[in-house]
Chains A and B, each alone.
Chain A
Amino acid sequence: MNRLPLRPLARILDARAQGVNPLTIEKENLRLRREQQRDAGRRRAEWRLLFLATAFFAGYAAIGAKMGMLAASPVVESEPYVGESISGERADVLDRNGNILATNLVTHSLYAEMRYMVDGRRAAHELVQIFPDLDEERLAARLTDPNRRFDWIRARVSPEQAQAAHDIGEPGLLLGPRDMRLYPNGTLAAHVLGGTTYGEQGVTAAEIQGVAGLEYAQNQRLSDADLADVPLTLSLDLGVQAAVEEVLADGIAMYNANGGSAILMDAHTGEIVAMTSAPTFDPNDRPAPALTGDPADSPLFNRAVQGLYELGSVMKVFTVAQALDMNMVTPETMIDTRGPIRFGRFRLSDMHSMPASMSVTDVLVESSNVGTARIAQMIGAEQQQNFLRRLGLLDQMPLEVSETGRVRPQYPARWSELSAMTISYGHGMTMTPLHLAAGYAAMVNGGTLVQPTLLRRPDAPVGQRVITEETSRIIRTMLRDVVTEGTASFGDVDGYAVGGKTGTANKVRPEGGYYQDRTVATFAGAFPMNDPRYVFVVTMDEPTIFVAGQNRRTAGWTVVPVVAQMIGRVAPMLGLRPQTPAEIEAGMQLR
């Protein structure tokens, strides 16, 4: 802004010339200048007011808009329910039909806080009435110890005990909530579920941790707070599992066996419908691991996934399947079965006398060791090893239980021709029943690998092909023949076209060599054989029965009748309608 001079010389001179007082000019200019300044100040003030008004308006508008939005938006629960639920700390485990296999129950823990304690001696006396196993003297000493502030009395008490402890009326005895893992079915599927223990313990809560089985292997999933309300659904079927356990237990009692195991698995998806191992235990009250003796004798030992056995003749199926698949033989090819085969200082021979030559079908049906060894010689050691490796039988078989982690099949480091011959009929290498089930599934389901699982997985992808469909069809026919006219003749169940292969292997002495009178009997197969739906592997440890004038230990006399009974029980439960002999015959031809 240019300042105008107050006394412009030109006007002053003019005024003087006209005799006007020049001061009026100065006054006039001074007034103008002040007016100018006043206008500028006013404009600035107006701007400030406008700015302030805008700011306030914006502020209030923001608050108003927020209030409006809050009022208009639907009401949401500020705190999610999950975080408050005590029972939501570990997810339930259900079977495939939604029956509870494991759940949580809120019980109480009992503890003492000394600062509230009135009469510790009386409290100890009364507590011993409720819990007779407590030592009154020591408890009284602890409850009256002035240096103690806190003491656990019981980690878990029943509602009756909690009420009784409350009725003592001692303010120093306090009850805290405590979650407890409950397996309502007791021993059912004990080896699958495993068990739990308490991790970190506090007064208001305790962390439940899996110690074995599924509870351990799936601990992260089960204890995930976000998924606590989403139960974990297994592939097991409660009813089928119960029937399988019952029949196996009866069989073990009848045949005087040490124990046994059973696996029932979907042949196409690998879902395990039932899996058990006997003897069993109660996961609600899991016994401590045995520190002495053979851990394999402990009830905690899961024979189905931990038991490494030489499984015997059940392995012949893989040898025959490979030879068929490599187009080396047809089912009718005659094999020289004259025994014994001498190989170095070893002799391979059959259990009983066989004809001098047999067809490949008969080698399997009559279970000839010599014949199978000859076929293995044709295949060759390396090819055999590759085939078994492709089937997954030489590696760990993963499953959703903790026990599989340390179990690896045992086989000779140097896979010689002799090894190939003995392995062809199931000696000289060990594997678990679970391996065998996976292998058999691939043999009968059309020739594709399956991955065994305990989790519900109805839409499993089709696995890698290991043998052709035609080979699988031939194997099905042969396995069916084993039951109709071979070593597993007690295994037939009306309408269910059972097929399978028996295996009886002498047990290995810990000091070397084999026991002559101790066997592991196995029956592995599938049903219905015209369209296999389920694969089974049942083993019994040292079964024996006195029949027809002698002690029988072979699978055909012991485990096969048990399996027949098992299938008769579970097949209807699995929704399989029995088929007429004509239907079965037609199905076997077609496929």
Chain B
Amino acid sequence: MRALFYLLTAFGVIGLAIWAYDQNQKTQVAIRDVRGLRAEIRALHEALDVQRAEWAYLNRPQRLRALAQMNFERLGLLPLQGGQFGQVDEIPYPLIGAAASTGPEDTL
């Protein structure tokens, strides 16, 4: 009985040691993964910053103005004018009896 108990304890210790070693290895792998992911996030953030800067650079008012002038014949873009504001009563009401709404229904 006692021998069996000792044997079981010894096997238990060995089992736990293997489990602990395994966990340790897995943790280290996870840490390495996290480090890799962090580096990737950083690189992506950096890339995002570059994209944002490039977007701002490409959309700078000076360039847009020049482009609007270059493509004036095709697009006919002009600066916003006060006369382009409308009144609410200039918007026609939908005709009574017109086809039922084809827009997105309220799904709630």
Point out residues on A near B: beta carbons under 8 Å. 81, 84-87, 99-100, 103-106, 182, 184-188, 238-239, 242-243, 246, 493-496, 568-569, 571-573, 576-578
A-B contacts, 15 listed (Cβ < 8 Å): A86-B46, A87-B46, A106-B46, A184-B57, A185-B60, A185-B61, A186-B60, A188-B60, A243-B61, A243-B79, A495-B82, A569-B79, A572-B81, A576-B82, A578-B85
Chain A residues near B57 (CB, 8 Å)?
182, 184-185
User: What is the bound-complex CA distance between A568 and B84, given in angstroms?
Assistant: 12
Which A-chain residue is minimally distant from B60 (CB atoms)? A185
Q: Taking the complex as formed, is B32 at the interface, i.e. its CB lies under 8 A from any CB of chain A?
A: no
With A85-B45, A87-B46, A572-B84 known to touch, is A182 a contact of B53 (CB < 8 Å)?
yes
B83 contacts A578, C-beta separation under 8 Å: yes
Q: Taking the complex as formed, is B50 at the interface, i.e. its CB lies under 8 A from any CB of chain A?
A: yes
B49 contacts A105, C-beta separation under 8 Å: yes
Given A184-B53, A572-B80, 7 extra CB contacts under 8 A = A87-B46, A103-B56, A185-B56, A185-B62, A239-B61, A242-B61, A573-B80
A184 contacts B80, C-beta separation under 8 Å: no
With A242-B62, A494-B82, A568-B82 known to touch, is A104 a contact of B49 (CB < 8 Å)?
yes
Main secondary structure of the interface of B (DSSP, over half): helix
Contact with A along B44-87 (1 / 0, CB 8 A): 01100110111011011110010000000000000111111100
Point out residues on B near A: beta carbons under 8 Å. 38, 41-42, 45-46, 49-50, 52-54, 56-57, 59-62, 65, 79-85
With A87-B45, A184-B60, A572-B81 known to touch, is A100 a contact of B52 (CB < 8 Å)?
yes
Chain B residues near A496 (CB, 8 Å)?
82
A99 contacts B56, C-beta separation under 8 Å: yes
With A188-B61, A242-B61 known to touch, is A572 a contact of B85 (CB < 8 Å)?
yes
Which 9 pairs between the two chains have the least Cβ-Cβ distance? A242-B61, A184-B56, A578-B82, A100-B56, A184-B57, A577-B85, A572-B80, A185-B60, A87-B49
Residue of B38, B53, B79 touching A84 (CB-CB under 8 A)? B38
Chain B residues near A571 (CB, 8 Å)?
82
Which A-chain residue is minimally distant from B48 (CB atoms)? A87
Give, as a whole number of angstroms, the nearest-CB distance from B54 to chain A: 8
Which A-chain residue is minimally distant from B84 (CB atoms)? A572
User: What is the bound-complex CA distance between A31 and B80, given in angstroms?
Assistant: 117
Which B-chain residue is minimally distant from A238 (CB atoms)? B61
Which A-chain residue is minimally distant from B54 (CB atoms)? A184
A100 contacts B79, C-beta separation under 8 Å: no
Chain B residues near A572 (CB, 8 Å)?
80-82, 84-85
Give, as a whole number of angstroms, the nearest-CB distance from B38 to chain A: 6
Give, as a whole number of angstroms, the nearest-CB distance from B58 to chain A: 8
A84 contacts B82, C-beta separation under 8 Å: no
Chain B residues near A87 (CB, 8 Å)?
45-46, 49
Query: Residue among A105, A188, A239, A569 with the most chain B CB within 10 A?
Result: A105
B65 contacts A246, C-beta separation under 8 Å: yes
With A105-B53, A185-B60 known to touch, is A81 a contact of B41 (CB < 8 Å)?
yes
